Chain A
Amino acid sequence: MSETATAWPHQVFRTLKSAGVGLVGYVPDAGHKRLIELCLADREMKAVVLSTEEEGIGLTAGAWLGGVRSALLMQSSGVGNCINALGTTRECRFPLLMLVTMRGQIGEFNPWQVPMGQATPAVLAAMGVVVREANSAAEVVPAADAAARLAFGSYQAVAVLISQQVIGIKSFQEQAAQGADSLAKAAR
């Protein structure tokens, strides 16, 4: 892989830091693995693991009420869990920054991921969320930076959809191997 292909999580993390994000809510996803680790390791950033993505919509709104900027990390399947709560984001004009790793796109190996993945841009748009798609690793950081500006500068709900091509996991076996790698690290 090229340097850009592997460096984007670090660069997105720096983008979040320079945007003043102090709180990150997440439901684990293989595509966000590195970025989640960076958020957890940062002393100034609070990373909150959620039981479902919908919780993140309340978390981020509550943090804004308290004067703290936040971001949500999730997989596209989790977008579906947020829909009703996004109505509150819109009615109250809470800023919202979602970084969504996509499944169900070109190259998907699990057919059950396809319906929600394909519907993700449309359902977000239907709820008034501005959608920006990053189709290559080089597009992720500029998209995240622009999204943070729009969210916090203009009080908008914004989602960056990080393409499955960027994530690059192409099989169950590859996904399982990443988990095995984590366990091995934890055991060391």
Chain B
Amino acid sequence: MTRLKRREVVEILLRDRGGLLVVAGLGSTAWDITAAGDSPLNFPLWGAMGNAAMFGLGLALAQPRRRVLVVTGDGEMLMGMGSLATIGVQQPRNLSVVVIDNERYGETGMQRTHTASGVDLAKVAVGCGIRFARRVQSRAGVVGLRRAVHAGRGPVFAQVKVVAEKIPLVLPPRDGGLLKSRFRKALLGAQADLD
């Protein structure tokens, strides 16, 4: 039985994050990265469901010397599963995609997603050519995943099984223009505003 809690998993992944660039899929994972500490180098999505991994790929290709982590939910990943194939073709060494899998659509009434019926996203990732693709169900697994995200050779994919729970919202800023501009300024410096 899985006992992992989503906020603890994300907190471990983001602890001492250094220069890590983080994209979160809309909904619970955007609240999770914010609960771990809001940062200008967080880009929490409030829309474009299914596109989080592709934001991460674009960022990883643009910034090959920085580590990029996409944290998203199982429902969000299921909606953009083709992006795992696109990532598999590109093989970005600096990109990790971590799915926090509670087997539920958390923002719409905790309805079951396909992963509740056994759909194995880690196997999909393997099939897409992502060699480091794990299903994580233990704290030790999360610690190993943290190492891969921060220092391993990507692309990295993980499906982290967590408890389905309703927890307090921790909301990031929701102005898209603000989120974009603060991210670019923190990453690229003052010149970003003049490009």
A residues apposed to B, CB below 8 Å: 22-23, 46, 48-52, 54-68, 70, 84-85, 87-88, 91-94
Contacts and interface: CB of A to CB of B under 8 A. Distances in A.
B86 A87 contact: no
B58 A50 contact: no
B16 interface: no
Given A49-B86, A51-B82, A87-B47, 17 more contacts: A22-B62, A23-B62, A48-B57, A49-B89, A50-B86, A54-B80, A57-B51, A58-B48, A60-B58, A61-B55, A62-B23, A64-B58, A64-B184, A66-B62, A84-B48, A88-B46, A91-B177
23 contacts: A48-B57, A51-B82, A54-B50, A54-B80, A57-B51, A58-B55, A58-B57, A58-B80, A61-B58, A62-B55, A62-B58, A63-B58, A64-B58, A64-B184, A65-B43, A66-B59, A67-B62, A68-B61, A84-B47, A84-B49, A88-B48, A91-B47, A92-B177
Interface of B: 21, 23, 43, 45-63, 66, 80, 82-83, 85-86, 89-90, 176-177, 179-180, 183-184, 187-188, 192, 195
* The 5 nearest A-B residue pairs measured at CB: A62-B58, A66-B62, A58-B54, A51-B82, A92-B176
Contacts of A84: 47-49
A122 to B, nearest CB: 21
Contacts of B59: 62-63, 65-66
Contact of B61 (A46, A54, A61, A91): A46
**Chain B CB within 10 Å — which of A48, A60, A92 has the most?**
A92
Given A87-B47, A87-B48, A23 B180 contact: no
B172 to A, nearest CB: 13
Contacts of B179: 92
A65 B86 contact: no
Given A48-B86, A48-B90, A49-B86, A55 B80 contact: yes
B97 to A, nearest CB: 12
